[in-house]
Structure 1
């Protein structure tokens, strides 16, 4: 297979250069523009095209290799990796996109924020060390002004120090993290729970009403980035996913 046109690699100008290169190549792979076995342009060609140093290009490709999207071979070069035989994952959802895809108007309100060491209750809820420095946020998301989902989130400040100065006035925490964090692993769990009195009041449902609880954690290598609990009124929501070999399609 002939190498892809290097002109296909375009940067979006957001964030560190190595991460722009990583995202540009990742997106070509996930979109199917570069199928398995496609030759990735060599480092020197990417350096010349993108005005990047060898170290920057090498870092981007090394990260893609750790994510399993490319295979680097000393003699034959770098190619797009074949998908694993069995692969299942839940996409990391953008709640604003989730609402807008249903033709509804999205809005949100930050109900509470506390920065510092985790309290005993929060440490137990999110399985944190008491010494962990975190930002703890409670956010209520709306669809057409009706409560859509209640978000309870911790962000590890050691991994995301920029959060200290971020107010989330323009972008909700989840979407802000999607744009600003580099993650390599994610874990999802979905369970059925009954709404407690405070949760029911915020979601305008009856106490004890069934809800769907989505719990998610993300890491960059071994470093935790965030943990979140998303509580959806069970009668208003269902999750549908369609997946290809590299994720959602």
Structure 2
């Protein structure tokens, strides 16, 4: 660890104290000034280490009181190599699911959308934007483009009752998926939709789905990095 940046060493020092139980939930951690002296670094370096841990959900700042160890939420989990209905995922975890439909409209494909769906510019496309909640916490912002030819009734659906995933799975049986995952700095509207705190990471899953040889849908699925993780399992035998 000695070769790591100083703020990483400080962050690890604090995280180790939390993970070992030395600093339990509710414990007020060493002050920034004391850590500055202990590690012989600038206040800015200490502040960055603490900000990272606040974003990860390990610490919480209380104005005029200090920084405290907080109860860490168990991260929601979704399979990377499969597609599941998020409503069922949430229910399986014993939580309450609901969503907020932000947009559900017909558009004409611009160049970017045409590339996503492998169609001509100007083709009819259905667009939806939905925030999915676990209990009262937003865990996914779903931004989706659908080829109108293959899902003509898409705009007629009540997505507060049937998710886009469920509708498309029933009407356009899945034959292939394409996934890519990246960590991003969220734009303001994404940050607001997911109620992300300052400096909280955002996980983006870019997904395209086929039914037979038809490219039906392209979706961007944004998740709060402190509350969500993607997993995969590969059988080698």
TM range (shorter): 0.5 to 0.7
**Larger relative contact order, structure 1 or 2 (CA cutoff 8 Å, min sep 6):** 2
CA apart distance, 1:127: 6.8
TM-score (norm 2): 0.59
Q: How do 1:148-187 residues align onto structure 2 when only pairs under 5 Å count? A: 148-187=139-178
CA apart distance, 1:125: 6.8
TM-score (norm 1): 0.57
Give the one of 78, 95, 99 matched to 1:108.
99
Alignment pair present for 1:241 and 2:232: yes
Counterparts of 2:90 and 2:164, CA distance in 1:
16
Q: Structure 1 residues 202, 182: closer, same or farther in 2, change over 3 A?
A: same
8 A Cα contact 2:100 2:132, kept in partner: yes
Counterparts of 2:119 and 2:190, CA distance in 1:
22
CA apart distance, 1:122: 4.5
Q: Which residue of 1 aligns with 2:222?
A: 231
Moved segments of 4+, more than 4 Å: 119-128
Q: How do 1:83-98 residues align onto structure 2 when only pairs under 5 Å count? A: 90-98=81-89
Q: Which residue of 1 aligns with 2:193?
A: 202
Q: Which residue of 2 aligns with 1:189?
A: 180
Q: Structure 1 residues 219, 189: closer, same or farther in 2, change over 3 A?
A: same
Q: Structure 1 residues 180, 124: closer, same or farther in 2, change over 3 A?
A: closer
CA apart distance, 1:129: 3.5
Count of residue pairs brought into register by the alignment: 158
If you compute each CA radius of gyration, which structure gives the higher value, 1 or 2? Answer: 2
Give the one of 210, 216, 238 matched to 2:207.
216
CA apart distance, 1:165: 2.9
Deviates more, 1:187-196 or 1:200-209: 200-209
Deviations 1:69-89 (A, max 9, x none): xxxxxxxxxxxxxxxxxxxx7
Q: Structure 1 residues 155, 103: closer, same or farther in 2, change over 3 A?
A: same
SS of aligned partner of 2:104: strand
Unaligned 5+ runs, structure 2: 1-79
Q: Structure 1 residues 222, 207: closer, same or farther in 2, change over 3 A?
A: farther
